[in-house]
């Protein structure tokens, strides 16, 4: 019985991992991102921005307890804090670490109490520990996708306001007032930062860190280049809006054309799990031959690893960059 529970926990962990590796419809072109990043580097100076972030982090650490400060000093906490910000949450990074530690302990204890196997306890503990991180990644992906969908309409608002004679900062306020989250929250953040004495350059680069997409990068590049060299910003934004809408139109076409491939991918991913459950209930005496064999658990773990590798490989095959 304990081995059955162990197998169920293993497949549950694999299924949760596959949920975190959900196959996307399309991806952003890496070469385009590199070119835009290089262009941004020529018109921005990140020294002052980095010093300001260091000062803010020092002030933030002073308000924490010694235990919280020690957690914030762990490697990778800056990247975790950035991920939390990109997902639209305000949870401190150390709280997420504590939550993962508590879940890991609870999962380990539960796995041991139910299965009385160290590998079952370890597997369930690891799955519980990484769950908050997988949820953050999923939330960031959804928020970023929604922001990209709202961005063309926001740029239309800015374009019309510029043609009507409004200053650029007031255009940002109009977007924040007239649209929904997350685009309204992000533009409100930019407007507030500028209103309190911040530079437009720094505010836009902060937006790029919170929403690191090619569409946002193109918008910021156009604004910063126009600030340095001059030109008609309304016409530039109109062209960028047309390009962004064209990318989404292409993405919808790709989604339609790749529907069969994505369905085949999910079938290949789920067949082993479904087949295992069906055999469990249809022929209860068949699987013990594998489970009672000394090499059975090793074969099952190897199958789980191959399942994950196959999922990643299929994801790379059907992921189309636009």
Give the pLDDT confidence score for residue 81 in this predicted structure: 82
Give the pLDDT confidence score for residue 42 in this predicted structure: 58
Give the pLDDT confidence score for residue 155 in this predicted structure: 92
**Which pTM does this prediction carry?**
0.72
What is the rounded distance in angstroms from the CA atom of residue 315 to the CA atom of residue 318?
Answer: 6
Q: Is 46 helix (H, G, I), strand (E, B) or coil?
A: coil
- Mind listing the domains of the chain with CATH numbers? 145-245 (1.20.81.30)
Confidence of residue 23 (pLDDT cuts 50, 70, 90): very low
What is the rounded distance in angstroms from the CA atom of residue 189 to the CA atom of residue 187?
Answer: 5
**Residue 267: closest CA among 223, 310, 212, 237:** 310
Residues 6 or more apart in contact with residue 43 via CB below 8 angstroms:
221, 224, 225, 228
Give the pLDDT confidence score for residue 34 in this predicted structure: 64
Give the pLDDT confidence score for residue 28 in this predicted structure: 53
Task: Label residues 264-288 b or e (16+ Cβ within 10 Å = b).
Answer: ebeeebeebeeeeeeeeeeeeeebe
pLDDT digits (tens, 9 = 90+) for 108-145: 888 788 777 777 778 788 888 888 888 888 888 889 88
């Amino acid at each position: 019985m304990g081995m059955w529970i162990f197998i169920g926990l293993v497949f549950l962990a694999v299924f949760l991992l596959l949920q975190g590796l959900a196959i996307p419809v399309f991806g952003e072109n890496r070469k385009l991102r590199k070119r835009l990043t290089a262009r941004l580097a020529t018109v921005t100076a990140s020294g002052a921005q980095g010093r300001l972030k260091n000062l803010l982090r020092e002030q933030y650490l002073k308000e924490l307890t010694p235990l919280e400060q020690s957690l914030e000093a762990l490697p990778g906490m800056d990247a975790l804090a950035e991920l939390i910000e990109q997902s639209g949450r305000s949870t401190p990074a150390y709280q997420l670490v504590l939550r993962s530690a508590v879940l890991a302990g609870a999962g380990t204890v539960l796995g041991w109490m139910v299965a009385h196997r160290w590998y079952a306890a370890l597997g369930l503990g690891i799955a519980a520990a990484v769950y908050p991180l997988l949820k953050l990644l999923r939330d960031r992906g959804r928020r970023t996708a929604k922001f990209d969908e709202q961005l063309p309409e926001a740029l239309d608002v800015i374009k019309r306001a510029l043609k009507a004679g409004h200053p650029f900062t007031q255009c940002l306020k109009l977007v924040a007032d007239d649209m929904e989250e997350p685009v309204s929250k992000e533009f409100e953040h930019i407007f507030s930062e500028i209103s309190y004495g911040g530079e437009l350059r720094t505010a836009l680069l902060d937006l790029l860190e919170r929403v690191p997409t090619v569409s946002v990068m193109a918008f910021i590049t156009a604004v910063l280049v126009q600030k340095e060299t001059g030109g008609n910003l309304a016409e530039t934004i109109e062209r960028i809006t047309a390009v962004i809408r064209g990318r989404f139109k292409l993405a919808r076409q790709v989604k339609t054309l790749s529907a069969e491939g994505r369905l085949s991918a999910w079938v290949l991913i789920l067949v082993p799990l479904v087949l295992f459950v069906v055999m469990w209930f249809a022929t209860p005496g068949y699987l013990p031959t594998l489970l009672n064999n000394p090499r059975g658990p090793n074969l099952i773990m190897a199958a789980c690893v191959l399942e994950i590798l196959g999922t990643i490989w299929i994801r790379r095959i059907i992921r189309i960059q636009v």
